A and B are shown apart, each in its own frame.
Chain A
């Protein structure tokens, strides 16, 4: 196997998700290729450093007052049960469309029609009602 192919498989190898056959191929290649061993060490060192990144960062300002204000606003709205619960429903309300007119394609339909999810709108108007 060539170095480029091995380098493309190193991340899976390091993550321990390679198939057995691929793992043997990578190990066989690493045993005889200093360049790929160096590349693997480099990736491992980088991932070690990534693990030292902070998982806690304080915001520059206290966000609680903003949250509390919005909680107050929500509690002061008299008829919450009539409010839209999702962004789609909110858009429907803004554009004067009944939420029953909105049809959300399911995943298999999206795949069948387009091959990839991002190429279809996330919702559309039902043809029978629009």
Chain B
């Protein structure tokens, strides 16, 4: 059995346990997916604190909706859809805060660790994304990244 098949069956088992309201299984699912959810939230949110709150909201929504996951799509796809919906709803609900405030804390480079990638230009791109108008940023992040 291939590694991917084993990983998929482990995830399926975790999801089934979480659907039975097993918190420890849900925590493992959270730990597996939190970085991808947070990356999305961070790029779409006004600041890191907002992104953290949103990430928590998303996993709470996932917990509430787990019963509706039917394995018709990959779990990560289903989770991404919830993450996008929760994030865009939150931004729409609070347009004032969805205007990003620039601080020096935002200058952190999110290093993927790839060899040969020009980190200077990566930082430039991250900065450029941050100063896009809210709707343009949403379109860019959701479409291109």
Contacts and interface: CB of A to CB of B under 8 A. Distances in A.
Is chain B a partner of chain A in the same complex?
yes
A58 B39 CA distance: 7
13 contacts: A49-B121, A52-B117, A58-B34, A59-B35, A63-B52, A63-B56, A64-B27, A64-B31, A64-B34, A66-B56, A67-B30, A67-B60, A87-B93
10 nearest A-B residue pairs (beta carbon): A56-B35, A54-B112, A57-B39, A59-B38, A52-B117, A57-B110, A54-B110, A50-B144, A67-B56, A58-B35
> Which bucket holds chain B's interface residue count?
20 to 34
Interface in A48-79: 49-61, 63-64, 66-68, 70-71, 74
Contacts of A71: 23, 60, 63
Nearest to B93: A87
Nearest to A86: B89
Given A57-B110, A67-B56, 5 more contacts: A52-B112, A59-B52, A67-B59, A68-B23, A87-B89
A76 B56 CA distance: 18
Contacts of B55: 59, 63
Contacts of A46: 125
Interface residues of A, number: 24
Contact of A57 (B38, B93, B121, B122): B38
B36 A56 contact: yes
B99 interface: no
B112 A53 contact: yes
A57 B145 CA distance: 13
B39 A55 contact: yes
